[in-house]
């Protein structure tokens, strides 16, 4: 015998909204507390966020994935994770012992790519290498500096790296601060004529690159357009706004295969309402 349907007052009014957001809404109550399932889910999400912040990026694997591109493993002035979290300024400057490694590679480069651990090792491990592969399809004629893999690094570290290498543009890929919905989100920062002392307002940012957010293809299309505009107009930051239609047209003109690089899958994208 089938059970009777609950009265309309017991129907979950939030059910239709949950398919459109990862936010925790309408969790309900068990007495004066959260239901057990919702509480355990929250605790698990908090644990994933902490693991992302305190995790370690496998830079050796990333370097292997990017071959045959040359790469350099460098450090910031933060000697360990605790110092990095307590002293953000240390993460913005290169370790003095590593400067000669960059100086030896100085040249006339269009672009320096910096992969920084930031605040989510999970994001960098999952997305940095495959995103770079996708980006390089769109910039086949750009002269690239060796890829810098930076430990205990903040965004501004890229300014010193690119200035030392002699690059006109720097792109910093960095793990974004994890939340309680997403712990593996990658961010990208673009800066024209990078040098020590650049302000955040002089950068362009593309964020939320992960399996439930911006795809590698979308992010690479936007970034390659911004890079071309930055090179043509000699600026980045608040004076450079994204033109979505122009970026899409530019992407179609620039994309080219890279048979020498390992292919990586694009993050699975959820269809609206799935």
Whose structure tokens read 């936007």? 222
Residues shown for the chain: 274
How many Cβ atoms are within 10 Å of 168's Cβ, its own excluded?
17
DSSP string, 43-60: HHHHHHHHHHHH----HH
Distance CA 222, CA 217 (A): 9
Tell me the average pLDDT of the chain: 87
What band does 8 get if pLDDT is binned at 50, 70 and 90? Answer: very low
Distance CA 264, CA 274 (A): 24
CA 211, 217, 223 angle in degrees (round to 5)?
Answer: 110
Distance CA 63, CA 148 (A): 9
pLDDT digits (tens, 9 = 90+) for 167-214: 999 999 999 998 888 899 999 999 999 999 999 999 999 999 999 899
Domains of the chain: 52-254 (3.40.50.11240)
Share of the chain above pLDDT 70, in %: 85
Distance CA 236, CA 217 (A): 21
- Dihedral sign computed on CA atoms, order 144, 145, 146, 151: negative
pTM: 0.83
- Dihedral sign computed on CA atoms, order 68, 116, 56, 100: positive
pLDDT digits (tens, 9 = 90+) for 111-128: 999 999 999 999 999 999
How many Cβ atoms are within 10 Å of 78's Cβ, its own excluded?
24
Distance CA 157, CA 145 (A): 15
How many Cβ atoms are within 10 Å of 123's Cβ, its own excluded?
28
């Amino acid at each position: 015998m089938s059970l009777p349907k609950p009265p309309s007052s017991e129907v979950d009014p939030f059910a239709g909204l949950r398919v459109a957001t990862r936010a925790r809404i309408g969790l309900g109550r068990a007495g004066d507390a959260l239901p057990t399932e919702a509480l355990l889910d929250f605790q698990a999400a908090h644990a994933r966020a902490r693991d992302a912040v305190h995790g370690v990026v496998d830079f050796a694997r990333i370097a292997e994935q990017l071959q045959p591109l040359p790469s350099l493993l460098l450090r910031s002035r933060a000697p360990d994770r605790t110092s990095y979290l307590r002293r953000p300024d240390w993460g913005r400057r290169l370790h003095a012992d590593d400067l000669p490694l960059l100086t030896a590679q100085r040249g006339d480069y269009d672009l320096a790519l910096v992969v920084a651990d930031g605040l989510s090792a999970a994001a960098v491990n999952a997305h940095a290498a495959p995103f770079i592969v996708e980006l390089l399809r769109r910039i086949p004629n750009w002269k690239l500096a060796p890829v810098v893999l930076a430990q205990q690094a903040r965004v501004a570290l890229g300014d010193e790296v690119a200035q030392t290498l002699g690059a006109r543009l720097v792109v910093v890929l960095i793990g974004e601060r994890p939340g309680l919905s997403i712990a593996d989100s990658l961010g990208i920062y673009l800066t024209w004529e990078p040098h020590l002392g650049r302000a955040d307002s002089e950068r362009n940012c593309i964020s939320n690159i992960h399996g439930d957010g911006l795809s590698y293809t979308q992010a690479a299309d936007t970034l390659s357009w911004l890079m071309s505009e930055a090179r043509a107009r000699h600026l980045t930051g608040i004076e450079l706004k994204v033109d979505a239609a122009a970026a899409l047209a530019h992407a179609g003109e620039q994309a080219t295969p890279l048979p020498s690089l390992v292919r990586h899958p694009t993050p699975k994208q959820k269809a609206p309402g799935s």
